[in-house]
Chains A and B, each alone.
Chain A
Amino acid sequence: MANYPIHENPTRDEWAAKIDRLTTLKDASKAIKDFRKDNTSPFRKNYDLDIDYLFIECKLEEKLADMKGQHMKDDDLLTKTADGECPEEISNAWIAKMKSAKDKFVAEKVLIEFRQTYKPPVMPVNAFLRADATLGSLLMEVRNTDYYGTTLGELRKQRGVRVVHLQDGLATA
């Protein structure tokens, strides 16, 4: 990890400057989606920003929320995404995607991707939370059924981890 202070550091400064340069709603919305895909969740592209990503994401959210306030009509704030889409249509499409997921590993990616793409302020919070609750409920139903039916060894394989170390005496299978 980088050898510099947590709260004020060059990485945060660099991102603050990048965020400052965003001038359109479209760019701000794209920037936050890209950032989340690259830097959040266990499936992120890399962990380089592990110390700073939550701060940067928060600053991107501030920026997008601010631009929505400036450029969108009051009523649209509750009924449209930052890109002008209809939240209900999007939610329904993602719920259908979740329902057709063939197993829990596909299903969890659906929920995580939905969050990375639509977490507020991209989607209005009223619509997002309802969709997220439905997706989350469906995901938990598949992930939590027969929870102890797989041995730890098999589960490690299914998850795809590389076992680096097991203390003496621990079962590998």
Chain B
Amino acid sequence: MALSAATTAATEALKVNRAPTGVNPQEVHRWMQSFNWDFAKNRTKYPTKYHMANDTKEQFKIIAKEYARMEAIKDERQFGTLLDGLSRLGAGNRMHPKWGETMKVASNFLEVGEYNAIAAAAMLWDSATASEQKNGYLAQVMDEIRHTHQCAFINHFYSKHYHDPAGHNDARRTRAIGPLWKGMKRVFADGFISGDAVECSVNLQLVGEACFTNPLIVAVTEWASANGDEITPSVFLSIETDELRHMANGYQTVVSIAHDPASSKYLNTDLNNAFWTQQKYFTPVLGMLFEYGSKYKVEPWVKTWNRWVYEDWGGIWIGRLGKFGVQSPPSLKDAKQDAYWAHHDLFLLAYALWPTGFFRLALPDEEEMQWFEANYPGWYDHYGKILNEWRALGCEDPSSKFIPIQWLEKNGHKVYVDRVSQVPFCPSLAKSTNTLRIHEYNNQLHSFSDDWGERMWLTEPERYECQSVFEQYAGREISEVVVEGHGVRADGKTLIGQPHVRGDKLWTVEDLRAAGCVFSDPLRN
């Protein structure tokens, strides 16, 4: 069979440009620089409305000289610490169990993001025309492979050392039933690798990395430490040391298209949509994981958000790109409002649907409730009262046969899923900016929760066709769905998700079945 054009070109290039036989860094560097990506008739297989310039400079001058050695040392330090020091100290069991559960979500989900970042950076390699720019993206591919391993290793380590491994191991098997998965795939997968190649760079590098890795990868280490987790900081800070270069790649993407006046027609739209896409999921989910998935609080999420997202990114980073015509996204203002209440809204729904998770959730205790009220005045009268009512109805105890989603249904609080972000929302209980709109199109009903997302769907409906769990499982009894979706532990009867972090009173499939809870599609009932 014929070789692909790319393989032939690479083979030909190697023939004329022999690899150096020595390991002199300068010589190796020169050799790599002289590599020519300029295949005859080079045409990327990814669509884009932008034209990338051919004369941008690479950001990875140090690849050949320093890169591999630097990364090897980082890996040695990190894996050495985990496998020797932290194992002997029993670090895998010293964190508060609420946090141990949070890391089931944080590291498994970030692993998906890293995995798709491999593909995204490779796609940019394919799309760029300047060879030096290609080098920058290619080195990011290697970084993202490292990060994928690192995230997987956190869950692997926890699986071996944490007292409750279910969910640290093999979280993916529950991906069809957990409502948080689909939104995560929207930001971490679709956002990075579908659509315009430059739009993907904006999603991944300009927003995902430059904006959200600060709260996601840096702030999480502070919460981890406060809750006794020494493992996560060792790994996540090692990841973050690579991110600066990825942010620089994003900067370089913008530089490479800024020469073309036509770029200005699209760039700020793509940035606004990318920011809204990423924040729509991360703002509520990270806030929920930090504040509801910990015992010891670092600072209110809204403060972290304002510092990293609003001031550092929206002000300083975007400000630096101002000379290329980049403007702060108009959706930032709406996002700022959501940073206050959206994560509380989401926790209500996540807790109400706890059996579909691959992690345990717990209600805030008395002391935590005081913290919430002190930092979010008005919290108790809205959220605290509901959570206390659920507790009084016995939601934690399997003998109660009560799942909070039944309370929502009984009280007329319908839970919808936003077609675009796949984030669930409850219009009658939300204090965030979510507002319900339902459209019928080609005999199909669609719900949306904000102007920005609705516009994205109205403009490009074929990009947002994901079904919600309520559409998928309408009419089906919940325990049956959980069994089918692999939400059961190795003993064949205990659920992976639990509504508390105690050692006893674990819910089984039988307990869940006794609740008699049936999925219904809010768009049809």
A residues whose Cβ falls under 8 Å from a Cβ of B: 1, 3, 5-7, 41-44, 46-47, 50-51, 74-75, 77-78, 108, 112, 126, 129-130, 132-137, 139-141, 143-148, 152, 155-156, 158-167, 169-170
Q: Are B458 and A162 in contact (CB under 8 A)?
A: no
Give Cα A139 to B266, complex, Å: 13
Give Cα A6 to B265, complex, Å: 44
Cβ contact of B455, chosen from A1, A112, A152, cutoff 8 A:
A152
**Contacts of A108 on B, CB cut-off 8 Å?**
460, 462
Within 8 A of A (CB), among B437-469: 437-445, 451, 454-455, 458-462, 465, 467
Closest to A168 in B: B435
Per-residue 0/1 for B238-268: is the Cβ within 8 Å of any A Cβ (1 yes, 0 no)?
Answer: 0000000000000000000000000001100
**Contacts of B4 on A, CB cut-off 8 Å?**
126
Closest to A125 in B: B45
Give Cα A93 to B440, complex, Å: 34
Most buried by A among B49, B265, B269, B454: B49
Give Cα A51 to B469, complex, Å: 11
Give Cα A139 to B459, complex, Å: 11
**Contacts of A156 on B, CB cut-off 8 Å?**
439, 458
Cβ contact of B462, chosen from A41, A132, A137, A152, cutoff 8 A:
A41
Instruction: Answer whether residue B300 sits at the interface, using C-beta atoms and an 8 A cutoff.
Output: no
Nearest 5 pairs between A and B by C-beta? Answer: A136-B47, A129-B45, A161-B439, A165-B438, A164-B438
Q: Are A47 and B47 in contact (CB under 8 A)?
A: no
Give Cα A148 to B269, complex, Å: 8
Cβ contact of B440, chosen from A161, A166, A170, cutoff 8 A:
A161
Give Cα A136 to B196, complex, Å: 8
Give Cα A5 to B480, complex, Å: 9
* Secondary structure call for the B interface: loop
**Contacts of A139 on B, CB cut-off 8 Å?**
47
Instruction: Answer whether residue B506 sits at the interface, using C-beta atoms and an 8 A cutoff.
Output: no
Instruction: Answer whether residue B397 sits at the interface, using C-beta atoms and an 8 A cutoff.
Output: no
CB distance from A107 to the nearest CB of B (A): 12
**Contacts of A167 on B, CB cut-off 8 Å?**
427, 435-437
Closest to B444 in A: A47
Q: Are A134 and B439 in contact (CB under 8 A)?
A: no
Q: Are B265 and A133 in contact (CB under 8 A)?
A: no
Instruction: Answer whether residue B170 sits at the interface, using C-beta atoms and an 8 A cutoff.
Output: no
Cβ contact of A132, chosen from B47, B437, B439, B460, cutoff 8 A:
B47
Give Cα A69 to B1, complex, Å: 13
Instruction: Answer whether residue B521 sits at the interface, using C-beta atoms and an 8 A cutoff.
Output: yes
**Contacts of A134 on B, CB cut-off 8 Å?**
47
Closest to B518 in A: A3
**Contacts of A47 on B, CB cut-off 8 Å?**
443-444
**Contacts of A136 on B, CB cut-off 8 Å?**
47, 196
Q: Are B442 and A155 in contact (CB under 8 A)?
A: no
Q: Are A1 and B521 in contact (CB under 8 A)?
A: yes
Given known contacts A3-B475, A136-B47, A147-B459, is B443 in contact with A46 (CB within 8 Å)?
yes
Within 8 A of A (CB), among B20-48: 43-48
Give Cα A161 to B447, complex, Å: 12
16 A-B pairs, CB-CB below 8 angstroms? A1-B474, A1-B521, A5-B484, A41-B465, A44-B442, A75-B1, A112-B462, A129-B45, A133-B44, A133-B46, A140-B47, A140-B266, A152-B455, A164-B439, A165-B437, A170-B435
Given known contacts A140-B47, A144-B265, A147-B269, is B484 in contact with A165 (CB within 8 Å)?
no
**Contacts of B440 on A, CB cut-off 8 Å?**
161-162, 164
Cβ contact of A155, chosen from B270, B427, B459, cutoff 8 A:
B459
CB distance from B27 to the nearest CB of A (A): 36
**Contacts of B266 on A, CB cut-off 8 Å?**
140, 144-145, 147
Closest to A111 in B: B462
Instruction: Answer whether residue B149 sits at the interface, using C-beta atoms and an 8 A cutoff.
Output: no
Instruction: Answer whether residue B2 sits at the interface, using C-beta atoms and an 8 A cutoff.
Output: yes
Give Cα A78 to B474, complex, Å: 44
**Contacts of B439 on A, CB cut-off 8 Å?**
156, 161-164
Instruction: Answer whether residue B472 sits at the interface, using C-beta atoms and an 8 A cutoff.
Output: yes
CB distance from B450 to the nearest CB of A (A): 10
Give Cα A46 to B444, complex, Å: 8
Instruction: Answer whether residue B303 sits at the interface, using C-beta atoms and an 8 A cutoff.
Output: no
Per-residue 0/1 for B484-525: is the Cβ within 8 Å of any A Cβ (1 yes, 0 no)?
Answer: 110000000000000000000000000000000000010000
CB distance from B289 to the nearest CB of A (A): 28
Instruction: Answer whether residue B476 sits at the interface, using C-beta atoms and an 8 A cutoff.
Output: yes
**Contacts of A135 on B, CB cut-off 8 Å?**
47
**Contacts of B472 on A, CB cut-off 8 Å?**
1, 6, 51
